[in-house]
Every structure is written in C-alpha cells, then in structure tokens.
Amino acid sequence: MIDFIKLKLLSVSAVSLIQNPFINWQKGFDPTTGEISEYPVRGELHNCKIVITANQIIFSGSLHILWNQINKRGRQNWDDFSRNDLSNIIFWLKSNLGINPRKAIIQNLEYGVNINIWKNPKDLINENVMVWMGKPPSKSNDFGQGKYVQWERTQYSIKLYDKGRQHLRSENILRWEKKVCKGQYLQKKVGLRTLDNLIKVSNLKKLKGDLLESFDMLLVVDSVDSSLSLTTPENETLDKVVNIRTWRDFNKKDRSQKCRFRKKVNELLSKHNLNTFHKRICYSIAIKCDELIECNEFTDFQKRAEYKVNSSYATFLHLDNM
C-alpha cells in the first residue's frame, strides 16, 4: 500500500551514514574519517537515494521496491506490500542505518494498490476512463503495451496505470495511486508526520479512505452495447461524456453548469447500469487495502516479537514501537 517516501532524517549523523557499508556513496568526503569536503554528498541504497547537504539529510525511494530487493525478489513493485512488510523494512532501516522512525519527517508519500482486473488496463484507460474531478488527465503516456495517466493538484497528484505491463507481466494489474508532495496535507488529512505513524492501523485505514474518496471522483463508463436502448437526448449526453473536448470546454465555464452536467451523467449511468466498471474497481481497491492492512497488529514498540523473513541479511524483529 505504501510505496515511495521522502524523509527528512533528524536522528542520524552524516558521518555514520557515510561510513555505512550498505550505502554506495559518490565522492566528496574522506572515506576513512567521514569528513565531508563538498556538498551535496549523494548515496544509493539499492533503489533509494540519500542526499546530505550542509543542513539536512534526505532519504527517498520506494520502500516496496527496497523490501523486494533486500529479499532478492527483484527491483519491482507489482506485487503486494503489506503492513507486515512495511513494519519490517522500517525496522531494517533502523537496525542497519540508525534511522529513528519517530524522528524521520515525512515530506512526500505515495500510497495505492495494485489490483487484478478483468480487462487490459490500457484498454480500460483508453476506452472507459473519462475524467477525474471533471478534468482530463494532465499527463498521458503510452509505454510499450501499457498506459499511464495522471492528474495534478497543488498538494498531490493522482495516478492510474498498467502496472503489469510496466513490469512485463501478463496479468491485468491496474494501479490506483496518490502521491502527496506536501507534508502538511498528510498531517491535516490523515495525521501523518513521522515514519512511525505509518505503522498504525488507524492511519492506514485513513489512507484507504482517502484512496476510495479520490477514486469516487473518477468517471468510468462501461462499454456500451449496441443493443442498449437510449433516447436521443441520452445518446447526445453520452456522446458528450466520451468527447474530451466537452470537459475541456467545461473548465472554461461556470462551476454550476459543470456540476449540473455531472449530475445528469451520473443519473444516466445509474439508470442504464453503465457504472458497473467503476463499482467493481472501487470494491477491489477496498478489498485489497483491507488485505494489506489487516495483518498482525502490534501496538507496543517496547515489546518486539521475532519475525523471520526470507532475507540474506538478517532475522528482523517485527514491531510497532522502535
């Protein structure tokens, strides 16, 4: 559920990180003493990046991919990443890098789910996905046999894409994701400030609610069967729905007119049962979130249970308090 993260590290020293054998560093320091001669100093931990400047240390990257690489499952994130996995990678960072989860400030966060669907995701996006919040995608790209669309807001962006084709998989894996680029949004919306906040089930459930609330704003129209009986006005409305120019023109008009049209569209889709694709995907998102969240729950960081994982590095301790 949790993927990319950007953290400001407050509890670990630059010298200890520079001397850490897990991190590959570029030049700009004395490898023996750890003394820095030139900023910024950049390092890599598998897929993740660490940047040390004169006044801060930033860690960024996909925790999902990092966990898979540590466990020799490849540089990929098409599979599931549960709360148990999240707990273990956080503990790994604490044990091996000295990162205190309570003193790692979240600046950016990506959260979402990979769901298996009945249709090629590229075809679904091209044929059935219309707009989000009444707006066409701000970005739309084809990659190989896949498709990617994105909508951007001031504090976050919404992504929908073919996760399976991105990783050359044959399965129809659709990714629904939200990337928050402002820490204030996470604090206000979910109550997230530091890395340890991510372990709490209540906070993950809030992220689930946020994903579902965002998905509810996505207009997905079922494929229309030629046998469907529509009136002339209904046909005209449906023609407008699938025409991207309709929505671009609405963005230039008053908001009330746009709201009336969206209400009319929703009534039409409900009347003729043309919203089943949306309902099926929404249900799958909810179920997948529950599967990833509702694993073993730990509430006391001082009582850590041993949890063995398939890793070449160590036996980790599963925890909620560190």
| Residue 319 confidence (pLDDT) | 40
Q: Is the pLDDT of residue 312 over 80?
A: no
- Answer whether 17's CB lies under 8 Å from 23's CB: yes
| Residue 73 confidence (pLDDT) | 95
- Answer whether 19's CB lies under 8 Å from 112's CB: no
| Residue 253 confidence (pLDDT) | 64
Integer Cα distance of 99 and 104 in angstroms: 7
Q: Is the pLDDT of residue 304 over 60?
A: no
Dihedral sign (CA 8, 10, 14, 18): negative
Torsion of the alpha carbons at 312, 318, 321 and 322, rounded to the nearest 10:
-20
Looking at residue 73, the DSSP 8-state letter turns out to be S
Region 254-263: what's the mean pLDDT? 84
Q: Is the pLDDT of residue 176 over 70?
A: yes
Integer Cα distance of 215 and 152 in angstroms: 14
Instruction: Of 3-17, 106-120, 204-218, 227-241, give the lowest mean pLDDT range.
Output: 227-241
Does 260 or 129 have the greater pLDDT score? 129
- What percentage of the chain reaches a pLDDT higher than 90? 73
| Residue 296 confidence (pLDDT) | 52
Sequence-ordered list of residues with C-beta below 8 angstroms from that of 56, at least 6 positions apart, any chain: 8, 9
Instruction: Of 74-78, 82-86, 182-186, give the lowest mean pLDDT range.
Output: 182-186
Q: Is the pLDDT of residue 297 over 60?
A: no
Region 256-272: what's the mean pLDDT? 90
Region 231-252: what's the mean pLDDT? 87
Report the mean per-residue pLDDT for the chain. Answer: 88
Q: Position of tokens 């049209």?
A: 261
| Residue 295 confidence (pLDDT) | 62
Q: Is the pLDDT of residue 282 over 70?
A: yes
Give the type of residue at 168: L
**Where do the domains of the chain lie?**
2-219+277-318, 223-274
Q: Is the pLDDT of residue 53 over 90?
A: yes
Does 304 or 192 have the greater pLDDT score? 192
| Residue 84 confidence (pLDDT) | 95
Integer Cα distance of 154 and 180 in angstroms: 9
- What percentage of the chain reaches a pLDDT higher than 70? 89
Looking at residue 194, the DSSP 8-state letter turns out to be B
Q: What is the pLDDT of residues 112-161, one digit of tens each?
A: 999 999 999 999 999 999 999 999 999 999 987 889 999 999 999 999 99
Instruction: Of 222-231, 240-249, 300-309, give the lowest mean pLDDT range.
Output: 300-309
